[in-house]
Each structure stands twice: as structure tokens, then as C-alpha cells.
Amino acid sequence: MTCKIVTIVGARPQFIKAAAVSREILKHPGRLEEVIVHTGQHYDPNMSQVFFDELEIPLPKYNLEISGGGHGAMTGRMLEGIEQILLDERPDWVLIYGDTNSTLAGALAAAKLHIPVAHVEAGLRSFNMHMPEEINRILADRVSTLLLCPTEIAMRNLADEGIRKGVSNVGDVMYDVSLYFRGLAARRSTILAHLGLTSSRYVLATCHRAENTDDPARLREIVAGLQGIARKTTVVLPLHPRTRQALVSQQLLCSLEGVVLTEPLPFLDMISLELSAAAIVTDSGGVQKEAFFFQVPCITVRDETEWVESVDLGWNTLVGASQVRIVDAFDNLSGGTPNVFPYGDGAAAGKIVHAILTN
């Protein structure tokens, strides 16, 4: 009897994580069938056939094309669209990733139809309830049947909240992804040559979280910090659409003179830039982890992180949105504890599939 899984994704990082699990699902023909639903939450011009070919996953069967608007409107429209798909597909499981509005909508739609939910990256907590992602994580965990944690700390967070049933530490699926794609990136990506970069002679930066882009004071500080680093070495900044819009509206784009600005980059190019950077400045949870996986020092422009292991082991420095702290962290770069891997053994995707098959 075939077990049907509906996978809900809406943002590029979720597709990247789903790629690893989808490859494992395909190893079980006749036992597992996957239907991929893209909510359309994040429009990405690179989310084309080339992107899916690069990740070696099939195109989504459904694309709801829901993006923009407030959190309530977006989540409500997604909930309506996903519910109809679940009624049509009648899956055995709904698989969700991370902490986006797509994650929450998928969890709620499934729970209300009494379809078991498997939540990848369960148990992560920043303990900042002002972050919409934190609310999404907590609510998704509350209605999930399988809580697939990336770390022991995530499991402890759930235990502290009284959640123990269905909880397991499968490791971080992004570690699977980084191991799988780092070799491909080294062979296929030409981004360093294209941008005229020398390995270990530049800093890669990303900024996209609303807490930074939508707060003029924080964004000004981050821009000033990147300018400070750019006076010392090359800084490469792929611009998220929301970040570009905020920089333009706040008249800060011209302040990034000397910073190499690019459009959002294909996944393999980002991996290549991460691998060869002297340091990474970011507010992205995924990029923080990739920096850790590749043992590249990371400066995180947030006040807290759900990936506390990278901080505890010395690879990640939290600086908030402070020009002085950003530049100071760069001036005092040092590596952390080497060869300690709290995010599993690179086999998380297989463990996720095994958990679904045996429950």
C-alpha cells in the first residue's frame, strides 16, 4: 500500500531542504508517493526549471501563487488553498519545514482535516515572540504528530513545553544538503571568477529579515557596518527583493558604494561563495548554519538565534544591528571549535523518511 505525502513549501530555503528528503522518498517506489505544493510565499526569479534541475527535484504539482499582504491575509489564503488540495489528494501525511507562514498554513489545514503532520526543524526556539517565525514554530509544533528535531537542544525545548510524544532527533537536513551540494558547487559554479573574487579575500553578506529591513534604524546600522568592512576588504551582498526595496525607500542604496551588489543568486553560487568567504555577515538562519558546516566565521546581525550551537562553539557571533559591533566582530575574527558537529551525521533525510514509514 502506497503512503502519500503532501509536502508544503513556500520559500527557497524550504525547497532546498525538501530536495534532500525528496531524493530519499524516491528510493521507495511503490511505498511512498510525494505531492509537492508551492504556496508561492516568496517569489524568486531564480525559482525556475533551472533551479529545480540544480536541486534534482521535480516541479511542484501545485503552485498557489500566494504572496504579499499581511501575515493574516497571506496565511488565511494559503490555508484555504491547501485545504482544498488536501481534500482532493487525501494524503496520509503532510510534511512541513521550518517556520514560514506556509509552514503554519500547512500545519493548520492538515490538523483540521485530521491528517498527521510531520514537522522538520521542530523544537527550534529564539524565545523572541516579536518574530512571526517564532509564533509559526510554536503553533506548528503544537499540532504535529511527528516532531523531527535537528538538535538535542531542540528536543529539550519541546520537553520543557511538555511535548515528548512523537519527538526524535533526526539531525539537521541542511547538513545533508551541504554535504551533497558542496562538491557540485565546486565543480559547476563560476561565481568567484564572474565577480572577480579571490578565495578568502572577501566577506559574503545577506540581509532579509523584516526585523532588520523594516526598521530604518537597524537597517542604517547594518549598512554602516557593511561599509566599515568594505573599507578593509571586498563585501559581496546579494540583495533580497525586500531588502532592495527598503534600501531604495530609505535612500540607503547609494550608501553601499564599494559593496558588490548582486541579484539573488542560484543555490550553487551561494554555496560556492560561502565556502570561499573569509567571513559571512547574515541574518539568515540557513546561512548561519551553512557557515558553521563549512567552518567559516559568521557575524549574525540579530539579537538572538535559534541556532545556539554555532554560537556556543565559537563560529557565530551575535552583534545585533550595531555598526560598531559588526566592524569589531570582523576585526577580531577567529575560528571556533573544529570538528564538532551537533547537527547530526548527514543522514537526516533518511531518518525523516524512516520515521514517516514506521508511524
Per residue in 254-299, pLDDT (tens digit) is 889 889 999 989 889 999 999 999 999 999 988 999 999 999 999 9
Does residue 337 fall inside a structural domain?
Answer: no
Q: What pLDDT, on the 0 to 100 scale, is given for residue 86?
A: 98
Mean pLDDT of 333-347: 91
* CA gap 178, 161 in Å, rounded: 31
Query: Does 131 share its domain with 51?
Result: yes
Query: Does 120 share its domain with 140?
Result: yes
Query: Does 227 share its domain with 285?
Result: yes
Length of the chain equals 359
Q: What pLDDT, on the 0 to 100 scale, is given for residue 141?
A: 98
Q: What pLDDT, on the 0 to 100 scale, is given for residue 242?
A: 85
Residue 82 scores a pLDDT above 90: yes
Q: What pLDDT, on the 0 to 100 scale, is given for residue 40?
A: 86
* CA gap 331, 57 in Å, rounded: 41
Does residue 338 fall inside a structural domain?
Answer: no
Query: Does 351 share its domain with 248?
Result: no
Return phi, psi of residue 37, to 5°.
Answer: -115, 120
Q: What pLDDT, on the 0 to 100 scale, is given for residue 71?
A: 86
Residue 65 scores a pLDDT above 90: no
Mean pLDDT of 13-17: 89
Which DSSP symbol is given to 60?
P
Residue 3 scores a pLDDT above 90: yes
Query: Does 119 share its domain with 203?
Result: no
Query: Does 321 share its domain with 186?
Result: yes
Query: Does 219 share its domain with 167?
Result: no
Mean pLDDT of 174-181: 91
**Are 316 and 298 contacting, i.e. CB atoms less than 8 angstroms apart?**
yes
Query: Does 45 share its domain with 160?
Result: yes
Mean pLDDT of 14-42: 93
Give the CATH number of the domain where residue 41 resides. Answer: 3.40.50.2000
Angle at the Cα of 214 from the Cα atoms of 209 and 219, rounded to 5 degrees? 80
Q: Percent of the chain beyond pLDDT 90?
A: 80
Query: Does 352 share its domain with 327?
Result: no
Residue 43 scores a pLDDT above 70: no
Catalytic residue among 38, 42, 119, 208: 208
* CA gap 183, 77 in Å, rounded: 39
208 as an active site residue: the answer is yes
Does residue 8 fall inside a structural domain?
Answer: yes
Q: Percent of the chain beyond pLDDT 70?
A: 97
Residue 77 scores a pLDDT above 80: yes
Q: What pLDDT, on the 0 to 100 scale, is given for residue 41?
A: 80
pLDDT tens profile 196-222 = 999 999 999 999 988 999 999 999 999
Bridge-based pairing of strands 202-205 and 167-169 is unpaired
Query: Does 107 share its domain with 204?
Result: no
Does residue 339 fall inside a structural domain?
Answer: no
Does residue 270 fall inside a structural domain?
Answer: yes
Q: What pLDDT, on the 0 to 100 scale, is given for residue 47?
A: 56
Q: How many domains does the chain have?
A: 2
Q: What pLDDT, on the 0 to 100 scale, is given for residue 56?
A: 78
Query: Does 262 share its domain with 164?
Result: no
Does residue 336 fall inside a structural domain?
Answer: no
Does residue 39 fall inside a structural domain?
Answer: yes
Mean pLDDT of 304-321: 95
pLDDT tens profile 237-255 = 999 888 999 999 999 998 8
Q: What is the mean pLDDT of the chain?
A: 93
Query: Does 267 share its domain with 351?
Result: no
pTM: 0.87
Mean pLDDT of 89-114: 97
Q: Which has the minimum average pLDDT: 38-47, 72-81, 327-336? A: 38-47
Residue 305 scores a pLDDT above 60: yes
Residue 48 scores a pLDDT above 60: no
Does residue 46 fall inside a structural domain?
Answer: yes
Return phi, psi of residue 261, to 5°.
Answer: -100, 135
Q: Domain span at residue 264?
A: 180-331
Residue 302 scores a pLDDT above 90: yes
Mean pLDDT of 42-64: 74
Mean pLDDT of 314-340: 95
Q: What pLDDT, on the 0 to 100 scale, is given for residue 44?
A: 61
First to last CA, the chain: 14
Return phi, psi of residue 33, to 5°.
Answer: -130, 135
Q: What pLDDT, on the 0 to 100 scale, is given for residue 148?
A: 98
How far is the CA of 12 from the CAs of 24, 163, 267, in angstroms? 19, 29, 9
